[in-house]
Chains A and B, each alone.
Chain A
Amino acid sequence: MRRRVVLPDKDHHACGLFGVMDRSGKRFSGEMVVKAMKNMRVRGNGLGAGFAAYGIYPEYKDYYALHVMYQDWDEEAKREVDRFLDLNFDVVHTEEIPVNLEARVSDPPLFWRYFVAPSKKGDEKKLSDDDYVVKKVMEINTGIKNAYVISSGKDMGVFKGVGFPEEIAEYFMLESEYKGYIWVAHSRFPTNTPGWWGGAHPFCILDWTVVHNGEISSYGTNKRYLEMYGYYCTLLTDTEVMAYAVDLLMRKQGLPIEIVSKIFASPMWDHIDIMDEKKKKFYTTLRMVYAPLLINGPWTIIVARHGEMFGITDRIRLRPITSGEKGDILFISSEESAIRAVSPELDSVFTPMGGEPVIGRLKKEEKKIEEKVSEVIEGA
């Protein structure tokens, strides 16, 4: 047997993205997001689609909701995960995720959900609940064959698989079974990884979800940097690094998206060089410290977590983004027509410059976050 160094492939793909948020917190069904995605059908090729929804499990909202995918209906993997969860968490409820067997999808794996609270032991007691959950998710994803935790936040969940968006929505019955105040969706056109259910977007860690259009040419750099902080990319796609980078910078390091966007999509040196001294120093330092997290290549992402959704593109905007507003509702989409298909009349429609985020926040939390943002910016 010859031995070879095999680097896992990264994914190249391209897609349609859509996000909608009711900033008043009102919950609504998945119907709108499905209709919008259907309008952008040709942006995907039927090999992957997925949705994230926030506010869908009010009855268990204090528990981490783990959506676990069992590849090939691997029962041994499920037994192992069940044991693992019993050992590390208080599992308050568990069930198979209900599906519609009539839906046109190919080879679905088994999906199960668990509502859990951390049950920390020994040294792990020093970890915050969130860090503990991240650690345990990584342990399952890297340690138990054929088991993948596809979402792990509270009162939210990810539903994804192989098919066009409307087919995946039908399979998980998103239009009838769930109501959320943020819905994010993705339709996939993979060119590198085979169409497998785990490879679909969104990618999720805790309640962070990321959907992504494009290809990250800095993937190797980003991935190896994140590994130093305990994030391991197991899902064979470059989008995963975005989810972990967001978790590292925003949750663990407490940076707001206004700053994180300048790390992912930093200003060009041309423009930094002509800034006033204070700004120049800030941007120079930011680029110097976070150079390994510059996300290069063409990309648009929509990132969501409880209370917040934002969309941003690479710094020379190689992928499209459009946002629109209608009352409390904020839309972010790859194409304007998808927004118009669900809301023909808009109060405003807007396309930000490359690297500038479109941000939606729950009204009741807006002030709190803005104060925090100005604190960090001042501090910088």
Chain B
Amino acid sequence: MLEGEIHSHLLPDFIIERREDRCIRCRVCERQCGFNVHWYDEETDSMKEDEMKCVGCQRCVVMCPTKALIVKPYPGDYRANANWTKERILDLKKQAETGGVLLTGTGNDKPFRIYWDHIVLNASQVTNPSIDPLREPMELRTFLGRKPDKLEIEFNGDLDDVEIKTELSPNVMIETPIVFSAMSYGAISYQAFKALAMAANEYGTLFNTGEGGLPRELRKYGKNAIVQCASGRFGVDPEYLNCAAVIEIKIGQGAKPGIGGHLPGEKVTEPISITRMIPEGTDALSPAPQHDIYSIEDLSMLIYALKEATDYEKPVCVKIAAVHNAAAIASGMVRAGADIIALDGLRGGTGAAPKIIRDNVGIPIEMALASVDQRLREEGIRNKASILVAGGFRCSADIVKAIALGADAVYIGTAALVAMGCTLCQKCHTGICNWGICTQDPNLAKRLNPEIAKKRLVNLLRAWSLEIKEMLGGMGINAIESLRGNREHLRGVGLEDWELEVLGIKGAGE
């Protein structure tokens, strides 16, 4: 150790148990670990490990041909203290050693109440038949975009020849109310990005480019793309906007409301630099605000700038993080011209965010969704925009509950990554991802085969869609639109009055 250098006081996060009787020294674990945890000691002819480096991603465990490895949380702990938990102490020590803002990846992992787990669904018994989704039609098709208050038609008694007089706003059709949320090429690997595009295309839904542009050769997937126009405006050119199905203005993100993004220079490799149209190796900084939006009328200005740039042919979505005044802000967004509003809740994921922001800012998506939907209805403008919600959706029941609360469709990000291989090790910001997802290292990225990853994603969409149909059928509903905003089918369990009131649902038994 050099003089003046700080000796680290940190504890390892994980412990590695190697069952020597099973280990065959094949060194797969060594090759699989981008964090260089494992190494082979020739002298003793044995595998060794540096536990300080282990992030618990379980890649080596899964890949070990003899299943010789167990990776589990490090059991050593400080004196028990309900206030000064191990996490708090370790975070503080890390900062004392570096003087920096703690970064992390994925979504808020703190035990804030997950309302989905306190809401139960209804099913038909006697008075109303449930429907068998395996044999009878069960419709999930959804349209995203602005709907008019009424339709004016010219009807001359002939149903084969009806003229629609009302000028309609552009809408986009999806076959299931599940959409992949924004993950940029840059934050995730090309392989993962392409897999999302292909899966959306195959299943008839949408993926979201995030703020990293859309590589030219993937523009053929434009009709399944939500392209983002965010504060950094990376890769935003007229063709990018015009090839898309939907344009999304990103104001905020649930994992980091109120702050910008930052793709570190080392991740800006040559292909990334082409797509983002910035030089290799420069930091890609996404400012906290969009500097042409400092207020609601400025948002309106950008919404219409984008409509102008695409000849009024595409719905424009505005995405915000769910924050205290989400309902009022959402109303302003709709009035400013947004065709779709996207809400990203407290538990939404990220490729990199300051931990202090991720864990402390924003409100749960359940509350935000319930209040936004209610407010827009009270103002009589709910039909003027579709609502997309994001932020930690883990299973199809979460989605069904969200739609019953009032969402049109759900964004899944973390869930899609998990389907491809992610294990939520929360090290996305390091640029090292043993699963080939959240990395630009070509050796790591090539571990993810886009075709196989696509298959996993399509399987997930299929499985969840089938489950949604099962739940719908049970409620005696055969079209998803009859569930939308249908809070009669929800009941709360273990919630306080104010929570039920905000959610707009009754308690179980009521």
Contact = CB atoms under 8 A, between A and B. Distances in A.
B295 to A, nearest CB: 4
Interface string B293-311: 0111110110010000000
A15 B297 CA distance: 7
A318 interface: yes
B288 interface: no
B336 A45 contact: yes
Contact of A318 (B294, B325, B328, B498): B294
B131 to A, nearest CB: 39
B497 A213 contact: no
Contact of B294 (A45, A190, A298): A298
10 contacts: A2-B497, A9-B325, A42-B297, A42-B301, A45-B336, A47-B335, A194-B379, A214-B294, A298-B295, A318-B295
A192 B300 contact: no
Return the 8 tightest CB-CB contacts between A and B, nearest first.
Answer: A191-B332, A14-B295, A192-B328, A14-B297, A14-B296, A318-B294, A298-B294, A45-B335
Interface in B303-356: 304, 325, 328-329, 331-333, 335-336
Contacts of A15: 297
Max chain B C-beta neighbours (<10 A), residue from A9, A14, A191, A215: A191
B298 A14 contact: yes
Nearest to B332: A191
A12 interface: yes
A18 to B, nearest CB: 14
Contacts of B300: 42, 45, 189
A342 to B, nearest CB: 21
A78 interface: no
Main secondary structure of the interface of A (DSSP, over half): loop
A193 B331 CA distance: 10
A13 B294 contact: no
Interface magnitude class on chain A:
20 to 34
A16 B298 CA distance: 11
Max chain B C-beta neighbours (<10 A), residue from A189, A213, A215: A189
A201 interface: no
B294 A189 contact: no
Max chain A C-beta neighbours (<10 A), residue from B304, B335, B497: B335
Contacts of B333: 191
A271 B351 CA distance: 37
A368 interface: no
A214 B325 contact: no
B497 A190 contact: no
B297 A43 contact: yes
Contacts of A193: 328
Interface of A: 2, 4, 9, 12-16, 42-45, 47, 189-194, 213-215, 298, 318-319
A2 B332 contact: no
Contacts of A45: 300, 335-336
A231 B331 CA distance: 30
Given A9-B325, A45-B336, A189 B498 contact: no
B460 to A, nearest CB: 37
A108 to B, nearest CB: 19
Given A43-B297, A318-B294, 8 more contacts: A12-B325, A12-B332, A14-B296, A189-B332, A190-B332, A191-B333, A214-B295, A319-B295
A14 B302 CA distance: 14
Given A12-B325, A12-B332, A45-B336, A191 B294 contact: no
Nearest to B296: A14
Nearest to B297: A14
A53 B298 CA distance: 28
A372 to B, nearest CB: 35
Interface residues of B, number: 19
Nearest to A213: B295
Contacts of B332: 12-13, 189-192
B327 to A, nearest CB: 9
B295 A9 contact: no
Given A2-B497, A4-B498, A189 B328 contact: no
Contacts of B498: 2, 4
B325 A13 contact: no
B322 to A, nearest CB: 15
Contacts of A13: 295-296, 332
B166 to A, nearest CB: 21
Interface in B245-276: none
A4 B336 CA distance: 32
B202 to A, nearest CB: 39
B300 to A, nearest CB: 7
Nearest to B335: A45
A190 B329 CA distance: 9
B283 to A, nearest CB: 23
Contacts of B325: 9, 12, 192
Nearest to A193: B328
A190 B334 CA distance: 12
Contact of B329 (A12, A318, A319): A12
B196 to A, nearest CB: 33
A189 B329 contact: no
A190 B335 CA distance: 9
A2 to B, nearest CB: 5
Contacts of A318: 294-295
B329 A191 contact: yes
Contacts of A213: 295
B282 to A, nearest CB: 25
B191 to A, nearest CB: 41
A333 B381 CA distance: 31
B289 to A, nearest CB: 9
Nearest to A10: B325
Nearest to B301: A42
B297 A189 contact: yes
